[in-house]
Structure 1
């Protein structure tokens, strides 16, 4: 057989696996030889993942519907190898296939994820069809070198063009997130724009250890579970993992410890490593309801978080005892008179005993309120703390909210719950707890935690219930013997 005939036969045989990733993997890689001498084929979970993709694409009713597949697992199961085999199949069996791969950090992507992907491309029977570099795998056919490629793209919530522009009408798109727990929510949201091409094979794979019980990767298994095919893989069930070391972890930390849940069982932790308010507290609060009679004894307090930028919302929150309610969210406005009017209307409607406004962008609003005879109070998140544990006022208010949740506080809004659980913390050498700043949270998750901040402002200072006669205003005082939580 001539070299040309052999190449034509290879093309025909590879084409037969267009919708069969597992068949391609068994055919295309030198199992039992060289680097794969100790392997007879993909691991069981890898084969199942490939079959999930194959079944989706083989069904005419689902082929052109996006396949969203999220896999949370313990350590050592071979996630990068699975990505490498799937990428090689996707590129080899669809002309002008377009792939983007990203990871939690650029270092992870450059030193771990991408080298493993390049390794499997090198081992593939179609290795000569593509050229791997440090940042891409491209077709060796010059006519297709720009349209038939896979790119390693570090994510950034400030530079999402690579994800926003991931379109490939009538062909195939594959988007791979590695260590997906730590990829910003904003990147997930922008990436969803790639799911709109008609008559296109679209596969979105999210892999990772479930290190955070907040964020979009977590919500693949909860809020968005109806849209995602999810798998949670225990490292102990996977061939080739170090069972002896895993058992040591279980013996040392316990089967139900967060350490074992994340690193072995593929389960999300009760509390993320640096999470200040556990998700369990906010989840429980979302299930509670209090009647007006239950909280009638308590002061009504309003917290206001003005919008910092055009992308942020202006948020007004009310809390009375263990009850809380988001009164409104509004786009940023340069008209402070409108913002002040909204606050004043809610203050009158709920007969609020006090209004606390974030100092950062609230000074103008407060000045307008002063002119109307309102006793609104500015609160500096970076100001001093009366809580000896916390470094600043922000930490003090979040710690008060945490105690309130433990006592039975109720929440009415999932985004507020997410905001409260998003903040992370560090402990300084002097023992002071430093809560993550709003700006840092925005960088990490791609949006402002405005609803959470508006609610915690209601804990800025203790407030007594107004005992003035109807129509009278003012008279509220800090109460030294008042419990601000209930």
Structure 2
């Protein structure tokens, strides 16, 4: 037996018969954001919880359109005065790759990947790659007494481009080392609570944020088939309480035959960025 929100008195009557319950406005918001055919609409509106409710997170056509925007440079005008942001999905030994994503505003500039390095070697490689691309640490300057007011500090710290690192596993050590080197680092953990209650965790919210940016045609990605294969393979589902959940990473790895490291780095790179024209909001506050 299922109970559809469409049969609720507030919806049928078009007015608030039962205060605080579902409304036509709420249902319209769900339909506009997720679509009538989505698992979220079916579960939260129609009350239908299918066992096979897994859905593809991102259609390949959206990825190809993002690559077209990258090649046509349609969004370049939006990068004026935008700083570079680096996002790192680290790996240690084994088949997984460490991937460093470089983003400027709505444009993913580059993906750099390498394998089989320990934590300290990875940190050194990251610092080298960042330096070659102009992503630098904070700078501290001494202010002569005659140039500072009474009681003001003798030094000032300025600049520092943002680096976001997945802290799970080996990432924690990399976060600490980069901070020691005066980089402005935000640590990311997908298992944390989301900002919005519609999601199971921060990982789900961040993936959905990328989906919305792609659907709204607000970002540009280089034409990277390995990246597109990973993003197009990710599945999501609506849980029994209507929350959006991304499939376990191990399930995705088994289906792909590899870890979705490039996709993870791109999700990180865009997790703290939003456009005023987007239906979605940033999921991570850059620290």
Q: TM (normalized to structure 1)? A: 0.37
Aligned with residue 358 of structure 1, among 147, 151, 166: 166
Question: Displacement of 1:454 after TM fit?
Answer: 0.4
Residue 277 (str. 1) matches residue 58 (str. 2): yes
> Would the aligned equivalents of 1:315 and 1:330 in 2 still touch at CA under 8 Å?
yes
Structure scoring higher RCO (CA < 8 A, sep ≥ 6) equals 2
Residue 287 (str. 1) matches residue 71 (str. 2): no
Relative to structure 1, is the Cα distance of residues 450 and 460 closer, same or farther in structure 2, using a 3 angstrom cutoff?
A: same
Structure showing greater Rg:
1
Structure 1 segments unaligned to the other structure (5+ residues):
1-256, 258-271, 464-481
Question: Displacement of 1:298 after TM fit?
Answer: 3.0
Aligned with residue 233 of structure 2, among 394, 405, 422: 422
Relative to structure 1, is the Cα distance of residues 399 and 378 closer, same or farther in structure 2, using a 3 angstrom cutoff?
A: same
Q: What residue number does 2:82 align with?
A: 298
Residue 377 (str. 1) matches residue 176 (str. 2): no
CA distance in structure 2 between the aligned counterparts of 1:410 and 1:462, rounded to whole angstroms: 13
Q: Secondary structure at the match of 1:314?
A: strand
> Would the aligned equivalents of 1:286 and 1:414 in 2 still touch at CA under 8 Å?
no
CA distance in structure 2 between the aligned counterparts of 1:317 and 1:379, rounded to whole angstroms: 14
Q: What residue number does 2:117 align with?
A: 333
Alignment of 1:472-483 (within 5 A): none
Q: TM (normalized to structure 2)? A: 0.62
Q: Secondary structure at the match of 2:200?
A: coil
CA distance in structure 2 between the aligned counterparts of 1:393 and 1:332, rounded to whole angstroms: 28
Q: Secondary structure at the match of 2:165?
A: strand
RMSD of equivalent CA atoms: 2.6
Residue 388 (str. 1) matches residue 197 (str. 2): yes
Question: Displacement of 1:449 after TM fit?
Answer: 0.5
> Would the aligned equivalents of 2:271 and 2:282 in 1 still touch at CA under 8 Å?
no
Question: Displacement of 1:308 after TM fit?
Answer: 5.3
Aligned with residue 460 of structure 1, among 253, 271, 277: 271
Residue 317 (str. 1) matches residue 119 (str. 2): no
**CA distances 1:339-383 after superposition (whole Å, capped 9, x unpaired):** 112322343423363111111120111121122122222211111
Residue 438 (str. 1) matches residue 249 (str. 2): yes
Question: Displacement of 1:483 after TM fit?
Answer: 6.6
CA distance in structure 2 between the aligned counterparts of 1:367 and 1:436, rounded to whole angstroms: 29
CA distance in structure 1 between the aligned counterparts of 2:230 and 2:202, rounded to whole angstroms: 17
Q: What residue number does 1:139 align with?
A: none
Relative to structure 1, is the Cα distance of residues 313 and 319 closer, same or farther in structure 2, using a 3 angstrom cutoff?
A: same
**CA distances 1:71-98 after superposition (whole Å, capped 9, x unpaired):** xxxxxxxxxxxxxxxxxxxxxxxxxxxx
